[in-house]
Amino acid sequence: MGDLKEKIAVVLVGKENENELINVLKDVKYVELRIDEFLRNFREEGIIDWIKKIRRICENEIIGTVRWYKEGGENPFYISEKKRIDIYRRISDYVDLIDIEIKSRICENVIEISKSKNKKVILSYHNFKKTPDYKIIRKIVKKGKNKQADYVKIATRVNSKKHLFTLIKLTYDYSKKINMIVVPMGVSLIERFVPLALGSTLSYVSLSQKTSPNQPSYYDILNLTK
């Protein structure tokens, strides 16, 4: 997979086969644990054991997120903000990066938890309907920069060439000023990875379950790089 593996995060939800994980995770740098999706199928008491299992079988950078239902996609799983803070606090000892939505009410709380544990923070914005105008998402990026995010993530639905150009321009303009993660959703495999060529830090692929529109799987990437 060459240099691409340094820019890929495999998204896990808890339903993956351990042998498959051992084979897959050695080929990528990042893992994203979707705690909200894990809780859709498993008990809350199993979260830490799940993270520890992932840690045992890989040396990847682990991203932990408990996605806000308002940015959870077409079939979001509701978790109260109070519960989300509690889960973020509990997982903070076991992950390397913590992803929290920049527009959520608990953003400041989670930043504080993350910094107290010396964890890197991804401040994220997801829009599953459209890509807002450039001025709007530029303000979101600047807000993330002002909050001293280690990374700002922008993941938006692309419905036109203009939308894709907006994300490309955003990546080009800001990737030298702050670590950017830019993800065009609902596009082809090649279009999804265009921001990587312009400075975006990483992109996401599924393994057992897609968590965004047209999200490529790890095996799509494998075929692309053969």
Report pLDDT digits (tens) over 78-121: 999 999 999 999 999 999 999 999 999 999 999 999 999 999 99
pLDDT per residue as tens digits for the range 157-181: 999 999 999 999 999 999 999 999 9
pLDDT at 224 over 90: no
Mean pLDDT of the chain: 94
The CATH number of domain 2-224, selected from 3.40.50.300, 3.90.1300.10, 3.10.310.30, 3.20.20.70? 3.20.20.70
Predicted confidence at residue 226, as pLDDT, reads: 63
CB 25 within 8 A of CB 12: no
CB 165 within 8 A of CB 193: no
At 1, is the pLDDT very low, low, confident or very high (cuts 50, 70, 90)? very low
At 2, is the pLDDT very low, low, confident or very high (cuts 50, 70, 90)? very low
At 225, is the pLDDT very low, low, confident or very high (cuts 50, 70, 90)? low
Q: Give the other-Cβ count within 10 Å of 108's Cβ.
A: 11
Q: Where are the alpha helices (H) located in 66-188, listed in sequence order?
A: 81-91, 107-116, 134-146, 161-174
Residue keyed to tokens 């896990």: 12
